[in-house]
Amino acid sequence: MARVTDLSIPSYTASASRDSWTRMEGEVLAMVDSTLREFHADQDRVYLTGLSFGGTGTWHLAMTYPDRWAAIARICGPGDPGQVDRIADAKMPVWVFQGGRDTVVRPERVLQTVRALEAAGHPDVRFTVHEKKGLGVT
């Protein structure tokens, strides 16, 4: 049996820099587009989710490309409360999950983004806090 040694998949070191997802978004979107083409998927039914650093990416991609996603489900990853208008304007359904004992991404910080969405007139934001869970809602 042959072993695959070169998957030709870019790798990244997760960092908290503000532009990390900006640098990766082109490749992520290319993977989504390739998957949609290959599997003849419905472009109106693409749901975006992410955990921790991926949760931050979920916010970033939803804020930057709100018309590409049918809905988002973000699991523990901070978003920028000052950048939520495009999500609110798109009326994209949002479900945010957070561990109440998360010491990396404090629930209070996530709540700021949720409240900003509501203040921007978003009609469909759900916020679920698992009080006894930590990062990754584990």
pLDDT digits (tens, 9 = 90+) for 82-110: 999 999 999 999 999 999 999 988 999 99
Answer yes or no: is 67 within a domain. Answer: yes
**pTM for this model (two decimals):** 0.84
pLDDT digits (tens, 9 = 90+) for 27-74: 999 999 999 999 999 999 999 999 999 999 999 999 999 999 999 999
Answer yes or no: is 29 within a domain. Answer: no
**Separation of alpha carbons 134 and 103, rounded Å:** 7
Provide the CATH number for the domain around residue 128.
3.40.50.1820
Is the per-residue pLDDT at 132 higher than 70?
yes
Mean pLDDT of the chain: 88
Q: Output 78 or 44, whichever has higher pLDDT.
A: 44
Domain count, the chain: 1
Closest to 111 measured CA to CA, from 73, 66, 79: 79
Residues of the domain holding 50:
43-137
Answer yes or no: is 89 within a domain. Answer: yes
* Beta strands per DSSP E along 2-124: 47-51, 71-75, 94-99
Answer yes or no: is 4 within a domain. Answer: no
